[in-house]
Amino acid sequence: MATAAAIDIGGTKIAAAIVARDGLVGDVRVVATDAVNGATEVLSRSIGLLRSVIAESDVPKPSAIGIASGGWFEQSTGRVVVATDLLPRWSGLDLRSEFERAIGLPAVVLNDVHSMGIAEGRLGAGSGRHVCLSVAVGTGIGGAITVDGRLFEGAHGMAGALGHIPFRTEGARCSCGRRGCVEAYASGPAIAASFAKCARRRDSHVVLLDVVNAMISSEEPMRECARRATAAAGAALGRVLGGVANTIDPDVIVLGGGAALALGDVFTEAVRSAAADCVIQPISASVVTAHLGTAAGVVGAGLVALDALATREPTKIVS
């Protein structure tokens, strides 16, 4: 059984595990990203985590590395071409070479939401379906289109960046530097900010977990603020997803990412209802929750590393 060591570097958490063709082998290990400490620190924490996962794994030892990360990559070099503010100073980083040098195995890199989409499309909620649109709502919002489990990459490898679909003219500032993208209205931090405003609390002290906790609070006004912020964000995202569904005609829309999963039914139902209002029949806006949960990014990275091993000569490791 061939295995890959896989890592998913997000704006909030870094997760790593060993992955085989049919999914995870063993547990996922998670550490905080602490992105504010800068790219070098995030990179060394990531390499350290992956090293310990490999060291603790039983035979067979992994023969490749799959790296999923926020941002987009030049496929020929594995260098980060574009990264948003969620991973400060990530742009320009030679991510693939850094891992190959440190660990001594050939590596592949891909966008973290593309990775989630591949995992859900092959082994999760999109398994057995033809066209699958996956959406991850976390610190940011990303998307991936897979056809029979294979990623539709677009002309520049960036297809699926639906968090940056314009939602309001002008509007709130987004992590990409523009204004009015749907990410600025429906991501975890945007929902936390909207809840803070309703609950008259200082924005900077409120995180998504506060919204999740307020949802089951004994104080009715807090519950109401949490539900309102969550439903408004879900409705914004749902409208955008309905428009995307009209464009690509998916069999299924898979909703995942840490924030979406933590907010649960209130969010999912708002997305589902708004998307259904926007699609043209007979296109389906069947919105389902991701089956692989927060492990999807790691699993997808491992699957792509195993694809690379099976289809081409191992990458020459930079020394």
CB 167, min distance to Zn ion, A: 9
By CB under 5 A, residue 113 contacts Zn ion: no
CB 177, min distance to Zn ion, A: 7
- What angle do the packed helices 39-56 and 95-103 form, to 10 degrees? 40
With CB under 5 A as the contact rule, the residue among 2, 176, 207, 276 that binds Zn ion is 176
CA 65/CA 250 separation, integer angstroms: 30
Give whichever of 192 and 212 is closer to Zn ion, judged by the CB atom.
192
By CB under 5 A, residue 20 contacts Zn ion: no
By CB under 5 A, residue 164 contacts Zn ion: yes
Number of H helices, E strands in the chain: 10, 12
Of 68-76, 171-179, 187-195, 209-217, the window that binds Zn ion (rule: CB under 5 A) is 171-179
Residue 184: closest CA among 201, 171, 202:
171
Residue 190: closest CA among 226, 134, 139:
139
With CB under 5 A as the contact rule, the residue among 95, 123, 132, 181 that binds Zn ion is 181
CA 52/CA 29 separation, integer angstroms: 9
Give whichever of 181 and 301 is closer to Zn ion, judged by the CB atom.
181
Of 104-112, 166-174, 195-203, 207-215, the window that binds Zn ion (rule: CB under 5 A) is 166-174
CA 271/CA 168 separation, integer angstroms: 17
140, 163 in Cβ contact below 8 A?
A: yes
Give whichever of 186 and 212 is closer to Zn ion, judged by the CB atom.
186
Which residue's entry shows tokens 């005609």? Answer: 249
By CB under 5 A, residue 240 contacts Zn ion: no
Residues in touch with Zn ion (CB under 5 A): 164, 174, 176, 178, 181
